[in-house]
Amino acid sequence: MTGFLDLYSEKDTFLHRLDPRVKLLAVALISVLAFILAELLYLVVLLCFILLLLVLARSSYGKAFFALKFVIRFMILITLLWPLFDRSGTPILFSIGPLDITEPAVWRGATSAVRVGCFATVWYILMFTTSQRDLVRALVKLGLRFDYGLALAISFRFIPTFGLTIESIKDAQRARALELDRGSILRRSRNYVSILVPTIVYALRTADTLALTLQSRAYGAFSNRTYLREIRMRASDYVALTVVVLILLLPAMAKYICGVRI
Amino acid sequence: MQALTLKDVRFRYPGMSEWALDIPSLEIRQGEFVTVLGPNGAGKTTLSLLANGLVPKSIKGEFEGSVEVFEHPVPKYTVSQLSTLVGMVFQEPESQLFCMSAEEEVAFGPENLAVPRDEISRRVEWALDLVGLKGLNDRSPFTLSGGQKQRLAIAAALSMKPSMLVLDEPAYALDPMGRIELYSILSDLKAKHGMTVIVMERDAEDLVEYSDRFVLMANGRVTASGPPREMLMDPGALRTAGVSPPQMAEVASLINLRRKAPPLRFLTVDEAFAEITINTHHHSKGESH
Amino acid sequence: MIPRPDADSEDRVIFLRDAKFTYESGVEALKGVTLVIDKGEYLAVVGGNGSGKTTLAKHLNGLLRPTGGQVLVMGVQASTRTVAELARVVGYAFQNPDHQLFCRTVHDEVSFGPANIGLDGPEVKRRTDRAIAIMSLSDIRDRPPLSLTLGLRRRVSIASVIAMEPQVLVLDEPTTGLDAREADELMSIIRMLNDEGTTIVLITHEMKLVAEHANRVVVMMDGKVVLDSDTRGAFSDLGLLRRSKLLPPPVTQLAHRLSQIGVSKDILTPQELVFELTRGDDQ
């Protein structure tokens, strides 16, 4: 259960080795690109490129399937629902009662779906290939305050712990004949209180110890804190960075400077 | 030198009428392994938090008296500054490990102290090795066993190079094997590195062999203090104090009740075996004459 | 494993037949466990971390369902009953009381279970009062459970389980964190419950506790039962206990070393050892 909360799996691929800052930037730029591109064809090309990256990331089938299942469902939903709300343009393909389904709306639906697919998949690739700690390091390196980085890292770290604790609390209450999903609404909300209160108590106790621990480990002692692991850009990172910037810049220039419809 | 000196110390939590701690005098020598023994609510945790100033700086209340660690008056320093003198380990293994790898956990203290990177790297290897976690640098603390977690917490304190470790019931959630590993590591730290070790415990059994001295606490006061053989040979008194006696002390006292010979005074299985076999040997010799 | 001739008797409250359990992660936690628990037994299930003892315990009230084999509770297939139904028969007190406590008063906390199993008002009250009395909580019945000491919180959490008046009470490491006095108080109440007929299943790694209280010991290792015997029998095989990552109490270790001068190996308490050692002197 907790396995899927951390999507990262340790592998030795080009994408894994890439500096996390470059990866963050790449993901941001590709997301921007997905919004710049307006033509379905080019978006499909972009999606294919992203799927190629997914293959190159050698993610475990279980995790990739878990992620893609979510993305594909979302894409289908958008494709189906879009024409119901967007009824502009002609020709009308067919009508369901008062609803006119138009051809441009269907295309726009598909375009949006692919766009969202690009956007979501690329973030998943980031999570697949970058450990949470590298992500936090990259954010701190890019200027996030260390305290916030630490807070983020602590939340990542405690997600599985909390998951297990909540499971245990549920079991403990079920052993007292609690049935979470039975009874009236009032009864059900009271049922959830029996999970919520012990969870909050646990969180507060953990936070107390955590506060004492941080102080005992000299947290905030000096402003010029050092770091055991520094992330350093290598030649290959600069190459990747250049490629990524070009991938965004070329289509953007084509569209906004040369006026090409893409 | 004294590692820890308490003089006329009193501490009261806000809104309470009773003193949580009331200790006229307590001294712990450098390099000593001291077990503070007492039932729940005796004030062990509060005492442990005095050592680096968390009480009364973080956990507020009415405080009087003086606390010194290695001749440094605790109130004059911040908790962070004292981290290079006093390492703290708490009860709950899970909630004192907050990093995503063992290595980061151990590096966190020295990083805050702005120690140069090469030196941090050396300290990380050194500390992980001392606690028997060599090679687990990249493991997430979440995936470690309870015993490994507590040892990692010790390593995370050791990397700041303190001269004293204060541990508040570190074996609380551990299984018997985990407890034995933990305490033998602490014993090694004392023997090989001259570390001063103060352990708060409810049960004397696991620490009989390792402790130079036992300090007995009840209701916020120190009621007795002395070497194991002085402190633990009277099971009745220990029970009255709310502490379970070591089994070997019980065996010795039960035998002593039934014999007129000089009392047996063993505390460990090895000692008991030696004394009992010698005694039966004499006994059977006596019969053959 | 010792074959049990009374395996078909009506006193049988729990019957695991070749129960297997594999977690979703693929970890095989139970690799075929057959276990019969009779009414009124005081059974200890012992083993190191990861031996499968907690997984086994969670099968007794249906929190986990076997992925192979069967679990019968009072002769009925557990798989046909919900956890809430099984909770009337098998009470399970978790190690950490703070995973349970959420009510404003001890009284409310203890009545939570009986109310959940759909009893009427007077019966809920009767059972709540009885459980509060058994666990000696009458003086603090109106106090908030979370403000109590750990020793009392543990007692409240056990009271909230026995208020459903189960025939079997599973206790997971009930003495963790308790001091000597609190542990003694709790264990003597448990002893009394057992004397009155409640079957006790103690899940623990504290062998001192087992020696003092249990009548029968099931040693688990690597998802299997490696020993099922009366308590004395279990303490006479130190090698097996050590392999199972269990630590025999000092008095057992001493008895084994003294076996060369004729001390029996199945000593459980200091009193027994001293009795054996000094028997000759009295004559």
The pLDDT score that the predictor gives to residue B281 is: 56
Task: Mark yes or no for CB contact A174/C99 under 8 Å.
Answer: no
How sure is the predictor about A83, in pLDDT bands with cuts at 50, 70 and 90?
Answer: confident
Both B166 and B277 in one domain: the answer is no
Both B257 and B213 in one domain: the answer is no
Inside any domain, residue B104: no
CB proximity A174 to C under 8 Å: yes
Inside any domain, residue C69: yes
Q: Is the pLDDT of residue A19 over 70?
A: yes
| Residue located via tokens 């089994």 | B247
Both B276 and B166 in one domain: the answer is no
Give the nearest chain A residue to C163 (CA atoms). A176
What's the one-letter identity of residue A28?
A
Cβ atoms of B158 and B130 within 8 Å: the answer is yes
CB proximity C181 to B under 8 Å: yes
Average pLDDT of chain A is 88
Q: Is the pLDDT of residue A2 over 80?
A: no
Q: How far is C101 from chain A (nearest CA, A)?
A: 6
Q: State which residues form the domain around C83.
A: 1-89+167-236
Task: Mark yes or no for CB contact B243/C179 under 8 Å.
Answer: yes
> In sequence order, what are the residues at sequence separation of 6 or more whose Cβ sits closer than 8 angstroms to the Cβ of residue C7?
C15, C36
The pLDDT score that the predictor gives to residue B48 is: 97
Pairing of strands B164-168, B196-201: parallel
Name residues 130-169 of chain A within 8 A of C (Cβ). 165, 168-169
Of C58, C113, C146, nearest to A177 by CB-CB distance is C113
Last residue of a domain, one of C105, C134, C165: C165
Q: What is the pLDDT of residues A163-174, one digit of tens each?
A: 999 999 999 999
Both C195 and C158 in one domain: the answer is no
Token output for C54: 């907690």
How far, in Å, are C52, C107, C149, C152 from residue C133 at the CA level? 34, 11, 18, 13
DSSP C106: H
The model's pTM is 0.90
Q: Which residue has the higher pLDDT, A229 or B155?
A: B155
Inside any domain, residue B103: no
Q: What is the pLDDT of residues B158-196, one digit of tens each?
A: 999 999 999 999 999 899 999 999 999 999 999 999 999
Cβ atoms of A73 and A67 within 8 Å: the answer is no
Q: Is the pLDDT of residue A1 over 70?
A: no
- Residues of C within 8 A of A176 (CB-CB) are 87, 100, 112-113, 116, 160-161, 164
The pLDDT score that the predictor gives to residue C222 is: 96
Name residues 254-273 of chain C within 8 A of A (Cβ). none
Cβ atoms of B51 and B166 within 8 Å: the answer is yes
Task: Mark yes or no for CB contact C102/A178 under 8 Å.
Answer: no
Inside any domain, residue C244: no
Cβ atoms of B73 and B51 within 8 Å: the answer is no
> In sequence order, what are the residues at sequence separation of 6 or more whose Cβ sits closer than 8 angstroms to the Cβ of residue C67?
C20, C21, C22
The pLDDT score that the predictor gives to residue B116 is: 97
Which ranges of C11-149 would DSSP assign to H, the alpha helix? 53-60, 83-86, 106-116, 121-134
Q: How far is C117 from chain B (nearest CA, A)?
A: 33
Both B211 and B283 in one domain: the answer is no
Instruction: List average pLDDT for each run of 10 residues in chain C, which is 283 residues long.
Output: 52 94 92 96 95 96 96 94 96 96 97 94 97 97 96 97 97 96 96 97 96 97 97 93 93 95 92 87 50
- Domain of residue B78, CATH code: 3.40.50.300
Q: Can you tell me the distance from the alpha carbon of C141 to that of C131, in angstroms, rounded to the nearest whole number?
A: 11
Both C161 and C171 in one domain: the answer is no
The pLDDT score that the predictor gives to residue A98 is: 76
For residue B202, which of B241, B249, B149, B151 has the smallest C-alpha distance? Answer: B241
The pLDDT score that the predictor gives to residue A252 is: 85
Task: Mark yes or no for CB contact B111/A228 under 8 Å.
Answer: yes
Give the nearest chain C residue to A188 (CA atoms). C116
Token output for A160: 């599985």
Both C119 and C81 in one domain: the answer is no
Both B5 and B40 in one domain: the answer is yes
Q: At what angle are helices C270-282 and C250-257 packed, to 10 degrees?
A: 40
Inside any domain, residue B92: no
Q: State which residues form the domain around B270.
A: 246-289
Both B270 and B166 in one domain: the answer is no
Cβ-based burial of A208 (10 A; exposed 0-12, middle 13-18, buried ≥19) = middle
Inside any domain, residue C243: no
Last residue of a domain, one of C165, C189, C210: C165
**DSSP SS3 for B57:** helix
Q: Can you tell me the distance from the alpha carbon of A172 to that of C99, in angstroms, rounded to the nearest whole number?
A: 6
Mutate to test the interface with C, among B273, B275, B281, B287 (most CBs of C within 10 A): B273
Inside any domain, residue B10: yes
What's the one-letter identity of residue B285?
K
Q: What is the pLDDT of residues A114-128, one digit of tens each?
A: 999 999 999 999 989
For residue C128, which of C111, C112, C116, C141 has the smallest C-alpha distance? Answer: C111
For residue C85, which of C59, C118, C129 has the smallest C-alpha distance? Answer: C118
| Residue located via tokens 């079920």 | A174
Total domains, chain C: 3
Both C79 and C112 in one domain: the answer is no
DSSP C34: E
- Residues of B within 8 A of A16 (CB-CB) are none
**DSSP SS3 for A243:** helix
Q: What is the pLDDT of residues A248-261, one digit of tens each?
A: 888 888 888 888 87
Both B17 and B64 in one domain: the answer is yes
Both B166 and B258 in one domain: the answer is no
Both C83 and C176 in one domain: the answer is yes
The pLDDT score that the predictor gives to residue A104 is: 87
Domain spans in chain A, listed from the N-terminal domain onward: 2-130+232-256, 145-216
- Residues of B within 8 A of C180 (CB-CB) are 39, 202-203, 239, 242-244
How far, in Å, are A3, A61, A200, B99 from residue A150 at the CA level? 22, 31, 21, 9
- The CA dihedral of C229, C233, C238, C241, to the nearest 10 degrees, is 20
Stretches in chain B below the pLDDT threshold 70: 281-289
Both B63 and B6 in one domain: the answer is yes
Q: How far is C57 from chain B (nearest CA, A)?
A: 18
CB proximity C102 to A under 8 Å: yes
The pLDDT score that the predictor gives to residue A60 is: 78
Q: Can you tell me the distance from the alpha carbon of B167 to that of B202, in angstroms, rounded to the nearest whole number?
A: 13
The pLDDT score that the predictor gives to residue A3 is: 44
How far, in Å, are A86, B228, C166 from residue B222 at the CA level? 79, 16, 44
Both B166 and B69 in one domain: the answer is yes
Total domains, chain B: 2
Inside any domain, residue B236: no
Both B166 and B62 in one domain: the answer is yes
The pLDDT score that the predictor gives to residue A250 is: 87
Inside any domain, residue B95: no
CB-defined contacts A:B, below 8 A: 115
Of A132, A217, A220, nearest to B156 by CB-CB distance is A217
Q: Can you tell me the distance from the alpha carbon of B234 to that of B230, in angstroms, rounded to the nearest whole number?
A: 9
Inside any domain, residue C262: yes
Both C85 and C10 in one domain: the answer is yes
Inside any domain, residue B132: no
Q: How far is B260 from chain C (nearest CA, A)?
A: 11
Q: What is the pLDDT of residues A92-109, one digit of tens each?
A: 888 877 778 888 888 899
CB proximity C205 to B under 8 Å: yes
Task: Mark yes or no for CB contact B258/C246 under 8 Å.
Answer: no
